[in-house]
Amino acid sequence: APSFYPRDNSTCRRTKVAILGGGVAGITAAHALSNQSVTDFLIVEYNGDIGGRMAHTTFGSGPDGNPYTVELGANWVQGLGTESGPENPVWTFAKQYNISNTYSDYDSILTYNETGAVNFTNLIDKFEDVWTEFEQNAGTIITENLQDPSFRAGLWQAGWKPKKSMAAQAVEWWEWDWETSYSPEESSFVFGITGYNLTFYQFSDENNFVVDQRGFNYWLKGVTSTFLKPNDTRLLLNTIVTNVEYSSTGVKVTTEDGGCIEADYAICTFSLGVLQNDAVAFEPEFPAWKDTSISTFQMGTYTKIFLQFNETFWDQDTQFFLYADPTTRGYYPVWQSLSTEGFLPGSNIIFATVVGRESYRIEKQSDEETKAELIAVLANMFPDVSIPEPTAIMYPRWSNVPWSYGSYSNWPVGTTLENHQNLRANVERLYFAGEHTSTEYYGFLHGAWFEGREAGERIAGMIVGTGGGDGYENGTCYNEAGCGEHLRYEGLHGTTEAWEYNSLNGMRISPFFVADAGED
Ligand SMILES: Cc1cc2nc3c(=O)[nH]c(=O)nc-3n(C[C@H](O)[C@H](O)[C@H](O)COP(=O)(O)OP(=O)(O)OC[C@H]3O[C@@H](n4cnc5c(N)ncnc54)[C@H](O)[C@@H]3O)c2cc1C
């Protein structure tokens, strides 16, 4: 008998599929199972609510004395879609559940340095010209199976060399680090380009910012209510997984409250940060191919720091304020006004964003220390204003959140599709899904959505289609790339071959097709 059999059978709950995590991927996995009439599943969630990194909290106070709702994690629907083309599923649901949102107008921007307002928006145009050139270079790397260089090298070869200009570095941060939470030096060139294209060319280049006072996760609750009853006993909230024992016949999950679940299959949707920080014990230890992928991919940190004042002393009609610090790249570079029409007008709330090393630095500081730095930056940006004392300050410390350990994943330099496929691949009966397993849309809500669906369908295909010789057959497998086990690579090649860009490796859409569409 497999070693995971519980010492005391009577204490374990039995289910067909244990879904570990109730974020977007976990919920869509459960939805996919339900759609194939597999209703014997349990969702185990650390927090008291579903949504995971689509998480909100209350902040400051409004005219009625009640606080505002602000998003700590995901805030935008990114790449909405067009009438004729495919639509981002998150956008489809955002519309269905009337999620309040506003189009992010990236032309609504003012630029600053330590002397105050200075117009360097021409550098934004210049960067965008370079982008057109280097995406062609990325195409060549793919077709010719060449080595994946850093995003920095890609920029450099296309003529973008910002070293001597803090303004150019601020623009680069706005265009790159702000999205990926890593620097160009740390990021993959090829998968940076494909990731960008598959969201912003396949769907559209529009990003809509959510200000719904019910919270962004309201749509996910709506979706959940279509297949779970209120207080459904299949959703275990406030339940922390501590151990996962897996084998070729099943999975046993132990929770901090002493409970356990025995399942035929499990889908682990914990973030890459959770996997990297040994927050959950997996037994047996993962094989080398799995560990290599977990340690290779990066978990970034993205921090929004919210400030409320008694007045709005910045331009009320502008959405974005970009600051080039004289000495430190990425030092409180982007500021967003929530006091602007379409957001939370009259709220007097503005927030700054930092990522990566700056996030780690301020996570170790007190709110007071960070507040002093923010006020000094605002004093640089607005030399004619005597910056008032904020009435509220708040920021999350994502890299220490025990159910996330970071914000979202990124692809490092010199990666291959094979290495990433190993991040997606199941180990025996334990399957994986989440934003980090998405080849096409890593880092995004919709990445988690597609991967959760695929994991649910792969398993449903096995459960529903037991009549077939392979354990599943046509008609019962909904997943385009097949059901059952994932492809995996026990020996990794140095580069990715052009034909490997296929759905078996999580690339359902051709990166070439998208690059062509983008050129039109
Ligand atoms: C600051 C920030 C900004 C972002 N901005 C955007 C954006 O604007 N647009 C966008 O599309 N995406 C954005 N993202 C990314 C987006 O939030 C994620 O891609 C997505 O929410 C990930 O969903 P998931 O299901 O893969 O993982 P998660 O949401 O992390 O779900 C995993 C679940 O597992 C649970 N869990 C973890 N450990 C345990 C345990 N031991 N026991 C039980 N349960 C556990 C967690 O509580 C969580 O609910 C942002 C993320 C952050 C943090």
The complex scores an ipTM of 0.99
Average confidence (pLDDT) over 466-473: 49
Query: What SS3 state is found at 69?
Result: strand
Q: What is the pLDDT of residue 11?
A: 75
- Alpha-carbon distance of 352 to 350, in angstroms, equals 7
Nearest CA to ligand 1 atom 53: 407
- Alpha-carbon distance of 478 to 460, in angstroms, equals 9
Buried b or exposed e, range 256-283, using 16+ CB within 10 angstroms: eeeebbbbbbbbbbbbbbbbbbebbebe
Question: Contact at 8 Å (CB) between 461 and 470?
Answer: no
Domain membership of residue 505 (yes or no) is: yes
- Please give the number of the atom of ligand 1 that sits closest to the Cα of 435: 26
Report the number of distinct structural domains present in the chain. 1
Question: Contact at 8 Å (CB) between 430 and 448?
Answer: no
Task: For residue 439, give the nearest of 496, 483, 384 by alpha carbon.
Answer: 496
Report the percentage of the chain scoring pLDDT > 70.
94
User: 262 is written with which tokens?
Assistant: 């025995």
246 pLDDT higher than 70: yes
Question: Contact at 8 Å (CB) between 300 and 408?
Answer: yes
* Distance from residue 496's CA to the centre of ligand 1 (Å): 28
Q: What is the pLDDT of residue 8?
A: 52
H/E stretch holding 195 reads helix 189-200
Ligand 1 contacts (CB < 6 A) are 21-26, 44-47, 52-54, 73-76, 78, 240-241, 269-271, 274, 279-280, 302, 398, 403-404, 407-408, 434-435, 443-445, 447-448
- The answer to whether the bond into 284 is cis (omega within 30° of 0) is yes
Domain membership of residue 273 (yes or no) is: yes
Task: For residue 131, give the nearest of 95, 90, 172, 88 by alpha carbon.
Answer: 172
DSSP 256: T
Q: Between the CA of residue 31 and those of 10, 40, 473, 476, what are the distances in Å?
A: 29, 12, 21, 16
Domain membership of residue 356 (yes or no) is: no
Residue-wise pLDDT tens digits, 317-346:
999 999 999 999 999 999 999 999 999 999
Residue-wise pLDDT tens digits, 125-163:
999 999 888 888 888 888 898 999 999 999 999 999 999
* Distance from residue 445's CA to the centre of ligand 1 (Å): 8
Average confidence (pLDDT) over 45-64: 97
Question: End-to-end alpha-carbon separation of the chain, Å?
Answer: 60
Residue-wise pLDDT tens digits, 282-318:
999 999 999 999 999 999 999 999 999 999 999 999 9
Average confidence (pLDDT) over 24-36: 98
Q: What is the CATH number of the domain that holds 47?
A: 3.50.50.60
2 pLDDT higher than 50: no
* Distance from residue 232's CA to the centre of ligand 1 (Å): 22
Domain membership of residue 34 (yes or no) is: yes
Q: Which domain holds residue 467?
A: 9-53+214-297+405-519
- Alpha-carbon distance of 107 to 302, in angstroms, equals 22
Q: What is the pLDDT of residue 6?
A: 47
Average confidence (pLDDT) over 250-269: 98
Nearest CA to ligand 1 atom 38: 403
* Distance from residue 479's CA to the centre of ligand 1 (Å): 23
Higher per-residue pLDDT: 190 or 517: 190
Average confidence (pLDDT) over 78-105: 95
* Distance from residue 408's CA to the centre of ligand 1 (Å): 7
- Please give the number of the atom of ligand 1 that sits closest to the Cα of 402: 38
Q: What is the pLDDT of residue 520?
A: 37
Is 334 within any annotated ligand binding site? no
- Alpha-carbon distance of 65 to 414, in angstroms, equals 52
Residue-wise pLDDT tens digits, 393-442:
999 999 999 999 999 999 999 999 999 999 999 999 999 999 999 999 99
1 pLDDT higher than 70: no
Number of residues assigned to the chain: 520
Domain membership of residue 366 (yes or no) is: no
Residue ranges in 50-165 assigned as alpha helix (H): 89-96, 122-143, 151-157
Domain membership of residue 114 (yes or no) is: no
- Please give the number of the atom of ligand 1 that sits closest to the Cα of 241: 42
Q: The pTM is what?
A: 0.95
The identity of residue 415, as a single letter, is T
Domain membership of residue 37 (yes or no) is: yes
Q: What is the pLDDT of residue 466?
A: 55
Query: What SS3 state is found at 382?
Result: coil
Q: What is the pLDDT of residue 280?
A: 98
